[in-house]
A and B are shown apart, each in its own frame.
Chain A
Amino acid sequence: MNPAQVTFGAAVALALATAVAAIVVPRRVVVGAGTALTGAAGLAAGVAAVSGHSFSLVLPGLLPLSGVSFTLDALGGLFVAVTGGVAVAAGVYATSYGKASAVLPMFVLAMLLVPAAASVGTLLVCWELMALFSLLLVIGENRSRAEVTSAGRWYAVMTHLGFVSILCGLMVFAAHAPADSFAALREARLSPAVSATVFVLTLAGFASKAGIVPLHAWLPRAHPEAPSHVSALMSAAMVNLGVYGLVRVGFDLLGGGPRWWWLLVLALGALSAVHGILQAAMSTDLKRLLGQSTTENMGLVLVGVGAAGLFTASGNPVLAGLATAAALLHVVNHAAFKTLLFLAAGAVLHGTGTRDLDALGGLRRTMPVTTALFGVGALAASALPPGTAFVSEWLLLQALVHGLPPSGVDTAIALPVAVAAVALTAGLAVVTFVKAFGVGFLAKPRSEAAANAREVPYGMRAGMAIAALGCVVLALLPSLVLPAVAGGATTGLVTLRLTGVTGSLSPLLLTLWLVVAVVVVAAGVRGVVARRTRRDARLWDCGGGPMSARMEYTATSFAEPLQRVFDDVVQPELDVHVTHHEESRYLVRAVEFRRSVPDRVERRLYAPVLAATRAWGRAGRSLATGSVHRYLGYGFYTLCAALLLLAVTR
């Protein structure tokens, strides 16, 4: 028995025990602690698997016909470890937040099992369990609210369409292989047409789980409506499994593929990154903004995966390794900061009762701990040094930059455009998180709710602190996890040096030098200035009396210049309504202004499909008049038609 097997078994047992215990003793402490312990065991199992202790387990009797088989290898171990880490923070947080639900540990368990599945049947069962448990958690807490039920419906439909797509893809794959285990699939020899079909079908399914445009419509609905620790689990752990599936099927089972597959992945990734962050930059709902940023980050990961596939197809394993390292490191980094941000958003919701940025502000006085921790997360998410995402985006850019010289024409066009997309994404991420932090937490409170905010209980703070610690460690010493995600793509502990190409970065030394520089400047200023105490002074109000919170910039006004710049892309809906005075049209009594930025991809792509479905439904209704004779007639004619068809074809 190796350590991975023991700890993985412990995680399964803990999750089941917690679920049972939660039914008997429905207390938050029980569920939270159990989930955190499950996560810790999963984390340990993942780390053990990554460091070389892989194991296999076959349980033929558990599922009829195909049986259940698990293998935890290094790739699966990474995703198990990430899920475990997220579950630790979310579990600790849940000890003092939300309802005690037996579904929570089961959801974590399902997510731990997916990367360990070693046959098509096992993978599909675990995948479906994961979808069902998360659906229950999304709609569990606030069933009565219309937004929640609508989000649940969107999520249920889209996740099952994605499931069907994966099912079809893997069934086609398994039909051309001797058995449905992954080992047998690796041996299968597929014709290019079949492997392309398999790839495109599974890509559609996995991309929809990862929230990739254009299959992202469920994500900004379902993630914000779930309780915040569930949002964190979904946004930081569950979406990763879409990437896992893509890497597993594309690289491991199909063994790479032609260039167009990966150009497609690269294009989808770049589109998702830009679209996601653009929507997030316009968003005024804190949790929705975070959900849209998940689409952005998964897009960046897909850019890395696509580049890795492209380099593999052109026979450049060094750069392929670098791009894979960038993509997988970004998965880990994104999990860390998105957990922190969603938990902090939950704290804001808990403390103020609103998640509308236009109504927040001034939380730094009433909720200092949450403000500081959200600040850490926002820095991490905005891809600026010394933040967490900076290192992985730097690696991604290095892979793209070094890929240019020896490439074909398609790569020579795709890579610069990808660099531009990553750059625009990074810039817009700065706007988004300056807005989220600056408008949400700094300045003056914009509503009663924000002014009367209360700091959250210690359990929630501890959960956020764990995630923040993860962010800081990943930001300063990414070399601790890089060997696990990349093999030999980088060397060095303090200074990362790329293998095979020129490039080095030292996040720790950079941070150290920044701190030293701040201290030097502060000391210099202290030495120069005459008087050290600060005098309290009025803000510049143009002589117009004290400034009220109504005069502040809001999240909407903050994003307005950007919205104008991207007017043709996002097509916002503006509505100005002016009420005039009765006596004269020149006197205005009230002005009402409304703005909404609907998702354009969604409107263009989903609205026609939904309308067509509705029309078909209506047409179908006219067939069913309620007359028994008619139904008998349908049966008779269908039977005749089937017999005729058989007679003709046989």
Chain B
Amino acid sequence: MTALGLAGAVVQPVLIVAGAPVLVGVMRQVRARLEGRAGPGIRQPWRDLRKLFGKERIAPRGTSEVFRVAPLVLVATTLVITVVAPFVTVASVLNPVADLFVVVALLAVGAVALALAGLDTGTAFGGMGASREVTILALVEPTLLVAILALSARVGSTNLGDVVSSMVREPSRVISPVSLLAAVALVIATVAENGRIPVDNPSTHLELTMVHEAMVLEYAGPDLALVELASAMRLSVFLGLLANLFVPWGIATTATPAALLAGVLALVLKVGVLGAALAAAEVFLAKLRLFRVPELLAGSFLLSLLAVAASYFLA
């Protein structure tokens, strides 16, 4: 447990909890401007959250503890990742948890908690959302793990800190074919896991096309606020990991205030650019039919396999 790790454990959760809704606001604003609308401003998600937290708590008839605990688990798993994974600092307060496989599994735990909550309501929409969500989850898993294999095989470790610091030490790796192929595969996996276009539409109002939104249809008030906050945090976590795995520059390697500040600014900048690019791309894409999504995921899986092949044959 180093000073750098401790600093990261304090700065990262605060930054991501505070910044994640802003990131969503930025993405919506970019979309709005590109579509010729004025947009509500980047602070609108925070205003929404404040309003939701002030509302009454609701217990839909027939739901159990699973429904009540799921938002807490969802936020908690993401919070643990923000504490241990390298976003602002390379060192981790809890190195044995900052493992790529652990992070992927923790994100899956959150999704499973929400899927069980969707089933717990006993409505058709809840079941539909849960069924679709876990199907996509199952299909994304091979891409994620094989891409991890490609990234970690040459480092000799799946520890996030090790992978990122090896990238910092050897910048030439950033433009290697392995990195590029794995990056594209992981971008597609990120889009699928976060329910963005073309896999799912986060702003849809048509129940039949919903995936994530159908699952959380019964949530209201503070519970909905938690779910919304967690979704924003998960998006930030994915984009932050993506940024630091492939473009780690700026991340703090020493525990000085200047390095930490640089790390914070670098993360904000990288995640902001990635988010804006994602939002801009979404303007030009349509949502895929649910049963075309596996083809997209199969494509990303192929890319990650190619990345592994490249890491072996080009080494």
Residues of A within 8 A of B (CB): 361-362, 364-365, 382-385, 390, 394, 397-398, 400-402, 404-405, 412, 416, 419-420, 422-424, 426-428, 430-431, 434-435, 437-439, 442-444, 495-496, 501-506, 509-510, 513-514, 517-518, 520-522, 525, 528-541, 547, 549, 551-553, 557-562, 564-565
Contact call A504/B96, Cβ cutoff below 8 A: yes
Q: In whole angstroms, how far apart are the Cα atoms of A422 and B106 in the complex?
A: 17
Shortest CB distance A600–B (Å):
19
Contact call B127/A553, Cβ cutoff below 8 A: yes
Contact call B135/A561, Cβ cutoff below 8 A: yes
Known: A434-B134, A504-B96. 16 other contacts (CB 8 A): A397-B145, A402-B156, A416-B146, A419-B145, A423-B144, A430-B134, A437-B116, A442-B120, A443-B120, A443-B127, A502-B162, A513-B80, A518-B72, A531-B57, A540-B123, A561-B290
Indicate whether B243 reaches chain A with its CB closer than 8 angstroms.
no
Choose, from B21-29, B196-204, B257-265, B305-313, the stretch at the interface: B305-313
Contact of B122 among A431, A443, A514, A561 (CB under 8 A): A443
Contact of A427 among B83, B141, B220 (CB under 8 A): B141
Indicate whether B140 reaches chain A with its CB closer than 8 angstroms.
yes
Contact call A420/B305, Cβ cutoff below 8 A: yes
Indicate whether B137 reaches chain A with its CB closer than 8 angstroms.
yes
Indicate whether B94 reaches chain A with its CB closer than 8 angstroms.
yes
Contact mask B119-144 → A, CB, 8 Å, 1/0? 11111111110111011011111101
A residues within 8 A CB of B158?
Answer: 397-398, 401, 503
Q: In whole angstroms, how far apart are the Cα atoms of A439 and B130 in the complex?
A: 11
Closest to A383 in B: B105
Q: Chain B: how many interface residues by the 8 Å CB criterion?
A: 87
Contact call A565/B137, Cβ cutoff below 8 A: no
Contact call B156/A505, Cβ cutoff below 8 A: no
Indicate whether B108 reaches chain A with its CB closer than 8 angstroms.
yes
B residues within 8 A CB of A559?
Answer: 131
Q: In whole angstroms, how far apart are the Cα atoms of A561 and B291 in the complex?
A: 8
Contact call B116/A434, Cβ cutoff below 8 A: yes
Indicate whether B205 reaches chain A with its CB closer than 8 angstroms.
no
A residues within 8 A CB of B148?
Answer: 401
Contact call A528/B53, Cβ cutoff below 8 A: yes
Closest to B305 in A: A416
B residues within 8 A CB of A506?
Answer: 94, 96-97
Contact call A529/B146, Cβ cutoff below 8 A: no
Q: In whole angstroms, how far apart are the Cα atoms of A101 and B69 in the complex?
A: 44
Contact call B301/A420, Cβ cutoff below 8 A: yes
Indicate whether B170 reaches chain A with its CB closer than 8 angstroms.
no
16 A-B pairs with C-beta separation under 8 A:
A420-B305, A431-B138, A434-B130, A438-B130, A442-B64, A505-B99, A509-B94, A514-B77, A517-B77, A518-B76, A535-B58, A547-B122, A547-B124, A552-B122, A553-B124, A561-B135
Q: In whole angstroms, how far apart are the Cα atoms of A402 and B64 in the complex?
A: 44
Contact call A529/B226, Cβ cutoff below 8 A: no
B residues within 8 A CB of A536?
Answer: 59, 61
Q: In whole angstroms, how far apart are the Cα atoms of A534 and B222 in the complex?
A: 11
Shortest CB distance B129–A (Å):
9
Q: A430-B137, A539-B60, A561-B132 are in contact. Are A405 and B123 (CB under 8 A)?
A: no
Contact of B105 among A390, A444, A495, A539 (CB under 8 A): A390
Shortest CB distance A557–B (Å):
7
Closest to A504 in B: B96
Q: In whole angstroms, how far apart are the Cα atoms of A580 and B152 in the complex?
A: 61
B residues within 8 A CB of A514?
Answer: 76-77, 80, 106
B residues within 8 A CB of A405?
Answer: 153-154, 156, 312, 315
Q: In whole angstroms, how far apart are the Cα atoms of A361 and B73 in the complex?
A: 23
Q: A420-B305, A423-B142 are in contact. Are A551 and B131 (CB under 8 A)?
A: no
Q: In whole angstroms, how far apart are the Cα atoms of A444 and B61 in the complex?
A: 11
B residues within 8 A CB of A525?
Answer: 53, 72, 222, 226
Residue in A397, A426, A553 with the greatest tally of chain B CB atoms within 10 Å: A553
Indicate whether B255 reaches chain A with its CB closer than 8 angstroms.
no
Contact call B72/A509, Cβ cutoff below 8 A: no
The majority secondary structure among interface residues of chain A is helix
Q: In whole angstroms, how far apart are the Cα atoms of A501 and B222 in the complex?
A: 46
Q: In whole angstroms, how far apart are the Cα atoms of A41 and B144 in the complex?
A: 45
Q: In whole angstroms, how far apart are the Cα atoms of A112 and B156 in the complex?
A: 41
Contact call B119/A549, Cβ cutoff below 8 A: no
Q: 9 shortest A-B CB distances, which residue pairs?
A: A553-B127, A427-B138, A438-B119, A427-B141, A443-B122, A517-B76, A423-B145, A506-B96, A502-B157
Q: Which of B18-43 touch A at CB < 8 Å?
A: none
Contact of B141 among A424, A434, A531, A560 (CB under 8 A): A424
A residues within 8 A CB of B159?
Answer: 502-504
Q: In whole angstroms, how far apart are the Cα atoms of A442 and B154 in the complex?
A: 45
Indicate whether B109 reaches chain A with its CB closer than 8 angstroms.
yes
Contact of A420 among B55, B145, B162 (CB under 8 A): B145
Closest to B54 in A: A530
Closest to A531 in B: B56
Contact call A534/B115, Cβ cutoff below 8 A: no
Indicate whether B274 reaches chain A with its CB closer than 8 angstroms.
no
A residues within 8 A CB of B232?
Answer: none
Closest to A494 in B: B96
Q: In whole angstroms, how far apart are the Cα atoms of A361 and B154 in the complex?
A: 48
Residue in A501, A506, A539 with the greatest tally of chain B CB atoms within 10 Å: A539
Contact call A529/B53, Cβ cutoff below 8 A: yes
Q: A426-B141, A442-B120 are in contact. Are A416 and B72 (CB under 8 A)?
A: no
Contact call B66/A431, Cβ cutoff below 8 A: no
A residues within 8 A CB of B149?
Answer: 400-401, 404, 416, 419
Residue in A361, A439, A561 with the greatest tally of chain B CB atoms within 10 Å: A561
B residues within 8 A CB of A504?
Answer: 95-96, 99, 159
Q: Which of B50-95 touch A at CB < 8 Å?
A: 53-62, 64, 66, 69, 72-73, 75-77, 79-80, 83-84, 94-95
B residues within 8 A CB of A412?
Answer: 309, 312-313
Contact call B131/A557, Cβ cutoff below 8 A: yes
Contact call A438/B102, Cβ cutoff below 8 A: no
Q: In whole angstroms, how far apart are the Cα atoms of A416 and B313 in the complex?
A: 13
Indicate whether B174 reaches chain A with its CB closer than 8 angstroms.
no
Contact of B218 among A522, A530, A540 (CB under 8 A): A540
Q: In whole angstroms, how far apart are the Cα atoms of A551 and B125 in the complex?
A: 10
Contact of A528 among B80, B140, B222, B301 (CB under 8 A): B222
Q: In whole angstroms, how far apart are the Cα atoms of A382 and B115 in the complex?
A: 14
B residues within 8 A CB of A557?
Answer: 127, 131
Shortest CB distance B119–A (Å):
3
Contact call B102/A385, Cβ cutoff below 8 A: yes
Contact call B108/A434, Cβ cutoff below 8 A: no
A residues within 8 A CB of B157?
Answer: 501-503
Residue in B55, B76, B119 with the greatest tally of chain A CB atoms within 10 Å: B119
B residues within 8 A CB of A385?
Answer: 102, 105-106, 109
A residues within 8 A CB of B294?
Answer: 565
Indicate whether B273 reaches chain A with its CB closer than 8 angstroms.
no
Shortest CB distance B230–A (Å):
9
Q: A434-B112, A525-B226 are in contact. Are A444 and B97 (CB under 8 A)?
A: no
Q: A384-B109, A504-B96 are in contact. Are A394 and B101 (CB under 8 A)?
A: yes
Contact of A434 among B99, B115, B125 (CB under 8 A): B115
Contact mask B242-257 → A, CB, 8 Å, 1/0? 0000000000000000
Contact call B95/A537, Cβ cutoff below 8 A: no
Indicate whether B217 reaches chain A with its CB closer than 8 angstroms.
yes
Shortest CB distance B23–A (Å):
20
Q: A518-B72, A537-B60, A539-B60 are in contact. Are A561 and B97 (CB under 8 A)?
A: no
Shortest CB distance B294–A (Å):
5
Shortest CB distance B159–A (Å):
7
